């Protein structure tokens, strides 16, 4: 037998559970998982994984790189963003192609291809964002035929020109059913949200409460009502629905109840909703933490962890949308002007490993399910991605079970000059990351070349195929 690389002696997390084994790689694929693979074999390179976990490469299926948003452009592009991803053990990302004013969906996809090519270090694809239903609906079929099976609608962001209404969601879900595709929804109730923002938008309150108004104007019912409405349209149409960045306990309860009735709804949460709560907005520089939806209360965190354990929450992503301190300073005391979003790609696996696995909220296998296997399945990328098994891409993250690194933005790959987790001591950074058999992170340092990442065409989405 000939292997280009053998990962030797680690504890390997396979779909059947963890085993002490070697992983043999031939070309871009996993060729064998077993013991003593180097014996009687022609082996190019041996990577020692003794004392380490060998995990399937993680997928971050909710990322915004170089996104024009909130009057500026998110500061991580495909160069820095995919380097950050690789260092965090993420080997596949999915971004959102959002049409610029007047653009078709095909043009939006092309714009995002241009951002990615020559820069991407890891493999990637895009969710296609429908922002003008009447114009865009006719393109959906041809985009599915070209390999895009996930679409996105925002229930808010009228000012960005991105907002979709109930008619658009209903019509899109009908088409999702017809094409076997999936609609992702940003669920927040825009009319009541705008009303609450108007009521609080006074110089006196801004002086007194600053960034805390971001959380005070988005009570949990803003998300819950919108999730319930989106579920209603999915139940009526049988169109596959996926709630992005779910942040509330109420949302998790509704998704669970809908799934029990057979509604084709899935949900993701993000790392920040699991470990941060809205007390951050009272801190000095609390405005840095503004993302949309905002982080909620400890009770919400607890419910979301439980949802990951029991399965009504299928995926953890990051909603990475990075702004530097200088960009965040645009708020100048008015919370409605804060560029919304946070860095996250580099810390996704370390956060979920340290606060999930080491705190016994999830097993190592469950973590791999929520960060790798389930996102790959749901986004139509399994078994190419999402598993250590023969025939899958050799996308791997090798982590030490206990070694911790203190989060220091000056030593990270992201262009952000701050981190919500600055000073946190996290285990689970990737010592070695492989993408399609190639080592792209070695001894915690990025070594892979920009531009090697490939677009991933897809044929399916959701869990019903």
Query: Which residue is at the shortest CB distance from Zn ion?
Result: 186
The whole-angstrom separation of Cα 191 and Cα 189 is 6
Q: Which helix H or strand E contains 249, and what residues bound it? A: helix 249-260
- Least distance from C-beta 68 to ligand URP, angstroms? 11
| Residues 6+ away with beta carbon under 8 Å from 232 | none
Q: Which is nearer to Zn ion, 77 or 395 (CB)?
A: 77
Tokens encoding 334: 């008015």
- Give the nearer residue to ligand URP in terms of CB position, either 13 or 215: 215
Nearer to ligand URP, 5 or 327 (CB): 327
CA nearest to 227, candidates 199, 210, 248, 209 = 248
Nearest Cα residue to 102 out of 135, 60, 75, 71: 135
CB of 321 to ligand URP, least distance (A): 4
Dihedral over Cα of 183, 169, 158, 280: its sign: negative
Q: Which residue, 155 or 441, is less far from ligand URP as judged by CB?
A: 155
CB of 44 to ligand URP, least distance (A): 42
Q: Please, how many CA atoms are within 13 Å of residue 355, restricted to the half-sphere of its CB?
A: 21
Beta bridge partners of 7: 23, 47
97 membership: H or E segment, kind and range: strand 90-97
Least distance between Zn ion and beta carbon 412 (Å): 20
Q: Identify the CA nearest to 65 among candidates 52, 55, 56, 78.
A: 78
Of 136 and 186, nearer to ligand URP (C-beta) is 186
What is the smallest separation between the CB atom of 292 and Zn ion, expressed in angstroms? 6
In the complex, the smallest distance separating the C-beta of residue 5 from ligand URP, rounded to whole angstroms, is 37
Instruction: From the list ligand URP, Zn ion, none, pick the one residue 341 interacts with, judged by a Cβ distance below 5 to 8 Å according to partner type.
Output: ligand URP
- Residue 64 CB, nearest distance to ligand URP (Å)? 5
* Beta strands per DSSP E along 227-292: 240-243, 265-270
Contact 134, 164 (CB under 8 A): no
Tokens of 43: 């082996």
Among ligand URP, Zn ion, none, the one that 227 touches (CB under a kind-dependent 5 to 8 A) is none
How far, in Å, CA of 362 to CA of 369, rounded? 10
Give the 3-state secondary structure of residue 390: coil
Q: Which is nearer to Zn ion, 156 or 396 (CB)?
A: 156
- C-alpha 39/C-alpha 27 separation (Å) is 19
For residue 267, the cross-strand partners are 243
Residue 195 to residue 217: CA distance in whole angstroms: 9
Residue 30 or 65: the one with the smaller Cβ distance to ligand URP is: 65
How far apart are CB 217 and ligand URP at their closest, in Å?
A: 15
Question: In terms of DSSP bridges, do strands 29-34 and 58-63 run parallel, antiparallel, or are they unpaired?
Answer: unpaired
* Shorter beta-carbon distance to Zn ion: residue 129 or 399: 129
- Cβ at position 62, least distance to Zn ion in Å: 6
Residues lying near ligand URP in the complex (CB under 6 A): 64, 186, 291-292, 319, 321, 340-341
Give the residue among 10, 67, 7, 69 at the shortest CA–CA distance from 32.
7
The entry of ligand URP, Zn ion, none that residue 378 binds, CB within 5 to 8 Å by partner kind:
none
Contacted by 384, from Zn ion, ligand URP, none: CB < 5 to 8 Å by type: none
Alpha-carbon gap, residue 82 to 396, rounded angstroms: 15
Sign, Cα dihedral of 152, 156, 160, 164? positive
> Residue 120 or 244: which CB sits closer to Zn ion?
244
* Contact set with Zn ion (CB under 5 A): 186, 319
Residue among 99 and 341 whose Cβ is closer to ligand URP: 341
Closest separation in Å from C-beta 291 to Zn ion = 9
Chain centre to alpha carbon of residue 236: 28
Distance from first CA to last CA of the chain, Å, rounded? 35
């Amino acid at each position: 037998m000939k292997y280009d690389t053998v990962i030797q002696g680690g504890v390997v997390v396979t779909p059947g559970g963890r085993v002490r084994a070697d992983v043999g790689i031939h070309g871009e694929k996993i060729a064998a998982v077993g013991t003593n693979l180097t014996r009687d074999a022609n082996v190019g390179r041996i990577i020692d994984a003794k004392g380490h976990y060998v995990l399937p490469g993680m997928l971050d299926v909710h990322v915004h790189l170089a996104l024009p948003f909130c009057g500026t452009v998110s500061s991580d592009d495909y160069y820095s963003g995919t380097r950050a991803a690789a260092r965090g053990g993420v080997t596949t990302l999915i971004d959102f192609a959002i049409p610029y004013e007047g653009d078709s969906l095909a043009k939006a996809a092309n714009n995002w291809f241009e951002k990615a090519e020559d820069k991407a270090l890891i493999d990637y694809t895009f969710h296609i964002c429908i922002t003008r239903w009447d114009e865009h609906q006719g393109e959906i079929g041809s985009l599915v035929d070209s390999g895009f099976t996930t679409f996105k609608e925002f229930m808010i962001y009228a000012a960005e020109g991105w907002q979709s209404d109930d008619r658009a969601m209903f019509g899109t879900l009908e088409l999702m059913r017809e094409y076997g595709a999936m609609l992702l929804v940003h669920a927040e109730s825009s009319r009541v949200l705008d009303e609450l923002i108007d009521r609080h938008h006074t110089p006196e309150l801004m002086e007194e409460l600053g960034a805390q108004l971001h959380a005070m104007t988005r009570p949990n019912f803003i998300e819950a009502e919108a999730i319930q409405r989106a579920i209603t349209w999915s139940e009526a149409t049988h169109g596959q629905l996926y709630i992005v960045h779910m942040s509330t306990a109420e949302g998790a309860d509704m998704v669970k109840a809908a799934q029990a009735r057979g509604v084709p709804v899935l949900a993701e949460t993000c790392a920040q909703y699991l470990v941060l709560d809205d007390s951050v907005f009272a801190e000095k520089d609390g405005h840095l933490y503004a993302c949309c939806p905002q982080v909620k209360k400890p009770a919400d965190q607890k419910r979301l962890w439980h949802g990951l354990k029991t399965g009504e929450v299928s995926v953890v992503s990051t909603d990475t949308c990075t702004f530097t301190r200088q960009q965040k300073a645009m708020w100048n005391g008015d919370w409605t002007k804060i560029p919304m979003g946070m860095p996250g790609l580099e810390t996704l696996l370390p956060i979920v490993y340290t606060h999930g696995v080491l705190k016994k909220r999830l097993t190592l296998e469950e973590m791999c399910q929520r960060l790798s296997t389930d996102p790959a399945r749901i986004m139509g990328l399994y078994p190419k991605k999402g598993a250590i098994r023969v025939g899958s891409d050799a996308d791997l993250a090798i982590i030490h079970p206990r070694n911790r690194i203190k989060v220091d933005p000056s030593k990270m790959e992201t262009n952000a000059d701050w981190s919500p987790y600055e000073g946190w001591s996290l285990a689970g950074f990737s010592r070695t990351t492989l993408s399609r058999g190639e080592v792209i992170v070695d001894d915690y340092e990025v070594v892979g070349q920009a531009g090697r990442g490939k677009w991933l065409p897809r044929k399916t989405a959701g869990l019903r195929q």
